[in-house]
Amino acid sequence: MTLGIPTLIEFSTVREHLAFARKNSFSFFEMNLSFPWFQSDKLDPDEMVRLSKEYGVGYTLHLHDQLNPFDFSPEIREGAMKSILYALDLAKRVDARRFTLHLQYGMYSSVNGTKIYAYEVKSDEYLSHVEKMAELVSKRLEESDTFFCIENTKGFLPYHKKAIDLMMKYPNFGLTFDVGHNFKASEDDESFILSYRDKVKHFHIHDVNPKSNHMALGDGVMDIDHYLEMVEMFEEPAVLEVKETTALEKSLKYIKNNRR
């Protein structure tokens, strides 16, 4: 099982993350580009490469949580695509083989208590933006073993599934299966994600309870062993996506005590 750590608010440098990862025998660090210290004007890719070699720990990238390359605003789309192209270049330089992107829900209006989403109303326009992004990213990743992965968050809506159907036609697109988000979304995403089982290229693993997400393994209500077995079966990298060092250490201990 290839395990990694998420970006932690306790640390503000790449070195701190990699040192913690090596100390606890994690294989990679998922750098979240939402965090203030991991912006383009603060990162030195050459230094990231040196640190990766020093600690023997690799990278995956998590694009900004609110990034939206499919917005109706051309200015917002342009900025989002600039951010994606920067991340593609960074990944190539630091040998990060997995990206993760959230799909945004976009604006909506409540009509008689029902949310009407603009992306559903204007689905053709929305999907045209999806296809343009997918074509551009696919060209950049051509003949590489890097995957641009879409993560489930609060539950895929119909227009999200159409967008994923479109993106999965491209060879360098995949899925990040967040098992905790799936549980919180009443497990509605799992069957859809597993219908693309050959495209599942990354996992986020954490426990949950009815009130909280990103809990240490064994502290919540999920059948976490089932999903650890799934990670082992798929043989794809998995981030233990708990948000503090003590919870990471506890989760790692849980795995050692419960997996062969």
Over 80: is that where the pLDDT of 259 sits? Answer: no
Mean pLDDT estimate for the chain: 95
DSSP labels, 227-256: HHHHHHHHT--EEE--SSHHHHHHHHHHHH
Query: How far is 152 from 163, CA to CA, in rounded Å?
Result: 13
Q: How confident is the model over 157-180, as a mean pLDDT?
A: 97
pLDDT for 260 equals: 63
- State both tokens at 18: 């990699």
Residues 6+ away with beta carbon under 8 Å from 86: 40
At 212, is the pLDDT very low, low, confident or very high (cuts 50, 70, 90)? confident
Q: How confident is the model over 65-78, as a mean pLDDT?
A: 97
* CATH class of the domain whose range is 3-258: alpha beta
The domain ranges of the chain are 3-258
Asked whether the CA dihedral 58, 168, 62, 181 is positive or negative, the reply is: negative
pLDDT for 184 equals: 84
Q: How confident is the model over 201-208, as a mean pLDDT?
A: 96
Tell me: the pLDDT tens digits for 28-57?
999 999 999 999 999 999 999 999 999 999
pLDDT for 68 equals: 98
- Does residue 82 contact residue 39 with C-beta atoms inside 8 Å? no
Which residue intervals of 141-178 are DSSP H helices?
158-167
Tell me phi and psi for residue 201, to 5 degrees: -120, 0
Tell me: the pLDDT tens digits for 120-130?
999 999 999 99
pLDDT for 258 equals: 85
- The Cβ of residue 240 has, within 10 Å, a number of other Cβ atoms equal to 26
Over 80: is that where the pLDDT of 148 sits? Answer: yes
Query: How far is 97 from 145, CA to CA, in rounded Å?
Result: 7
